[in-house]
Amino acid sequence: MNDESTGSESLIQAGGISQPSLADAARGADAARGAHAARGAPFAPRAALVTGASRGLGAALARELARRGAKVVLVARERAPLEAVAAEIAAQGGVAHALAADIGDKGQTHAIAGAAAALVGPIDLLVHNASTLGRTPLPILLDTECEDLGRVLEVNVVGPFRLTKVIAGAMALRRRGVVVHISSDAAVNAYPRWGAYGASKAALDHLSRTWAAELEGTGVAFYAVDPGEMNTRMHAEAIPDADPSALADPADVARRIVALIGRAGEVPSGARVEAASFEEAP
């Protein structure tokens, strides 16, 4: 457990309450409490938690959200690059906090959520960007070890599920929140050697739709977003011979995803969208 995550379990406000009771309570609350989900109402996040935020798309999303006024908690395993991104955001006048932690470690879930809330207040935007390819070069399924598949599912599916379970209930009680799952076209297309990663993203897409169905009417929206192929370290590890000039800049993709988040009142909860379909946020 990392120092920044230790001892925060007591900060979780919704501990011990089952998800159905949270959803029922939120549905029964007065709809005049300012739920963002009214059709067409813009959504401007105040406190965001972004996982996998030490580089690539996660870092770009943290920068863009901070630029637009959100207080951001950045989560990733590697402390040094994470703190560098947070310092960069702070130097530009934004509010950002680095929280070194492993989304794939069940024991850290409550500590992550509690520490984030202590740093920036109630989280109203949760972006699940952290993911792993598993072993590289990517093996075919026949050569994929069960332990490697298990780690991919733990980080890419189970980790986001646990963190959403901790945070989304409180969002529902406040009738305000957006949860974004970063997906992939490998979730809907069968690419050789992408079996473990693709299966994890397909499962994440389905979780997103199910969360949306179960929390319908609570003011919490869920989206699965396919960012497209980007010029990132992960892409280079997966496809070393790819031409970087043919890949999207993560900063451009981040602006498009933030545009989607801002239109959460218009886009139906549970939708799976391609980032390229949204205009970049100004």
Annotated active-site positions, please?
183, 197, 201
Residue of 171, 258, 257 lying closest to 215 (CA atoms): 171
Three-state DSSP at 72 gives: strand
Q: Which residues contact 161 (CB under 8 A, 6 or more apart)?
A: 207
Sheet holding 272-274, edge to edge: 95-100, 71-76, 47-51, 125-128, 177-182, 220-226, 272-274
Backbone phi, psi, residue 50, to 5°: -120, 120
Strands 125-128 and 177-182: parallel
CA distances from 2 to 20, 54, 161, 273 (A): 32, 15, 21, 34
Q: What percent helix, strand, coil does the chain show, rounded to 5?
A: 50, 15, 35
Count CB-CB contacts under 10 A for residue 186.
20
**Residues shown for the chain:** 282
Nearest to 131 by CA among 208, 193, 56, 190: 56
Buried b (16+ CB within 10 A) or exposed e, 39-51: eeeebebebbbbb
SS3 category, 179: strand
CA-to-CA distance for 39 and 205, rounded, in angstroms?
Answer: 23
